[in-house]
Amino acid sequence: MKRWTALFLTLVCILGLAGCDNRTMNYIIENEPSITGTVEEVRDNAIIIYINTQGYPNGASCKVSLDVENKDSYTDISVGDEIVVYYNGEIAESDPLQINTVYGITLKTPANQDAE
């Protein structure tokens, strides 16, 4: 009987911890590294953004995965949008650069803001 009780409690703890991995967008914004860029191209599973930051003063293109962890992320992405990508801090040094682990995406400036 003790064995079944221990097994049951272990399973309850494991299942309880599994639900704790859902981080809110606010948590991601406050705690994860980010990069800001302008959308150059929208594909099925990724976007290409142009970044011009301290690490890339001459600018660079970067492919960003749209397999985003937080489903509350901005998803109606258009060419010309300025977005902020929250990711795991790793950028693959390829051509173009690549961000494969994306936690969230937010809209900074919409592409059509000058239309009004």
- Check residue 66 and give its pLDDT: 96
Domain regions of the chain by residue span: 24-115
pLDDT of residue 58: 83
- Its pTM stands at 0.76
Distance CA 66, CA 103 (A): 10
pLDDT above 90 (res 98): yes
pLDDT of residue 75: 86
**DSSP label of 26:** H
pLDDT score of 89: 94
pLDDT (average), residues 93-107 = 95
Please provide the average confidence, as pLDDT, over all residues in the chain: 85
CATH class of the domain at 24-115: mainly beta
Backbone φ, ψ for residue 31 (5° rounding):
-120, -10
Given a cut of 60, is residue 1 above it in pLDDT?
A: yes
pLDDT tens sequence across 25-74: 999 999 999 999 999 999 999 999 999 877 777 889 999 999 999 999 99
Distance CA 71, CA 22 (A): 10
Check whether 116 has a pLDDT greater than 80: no
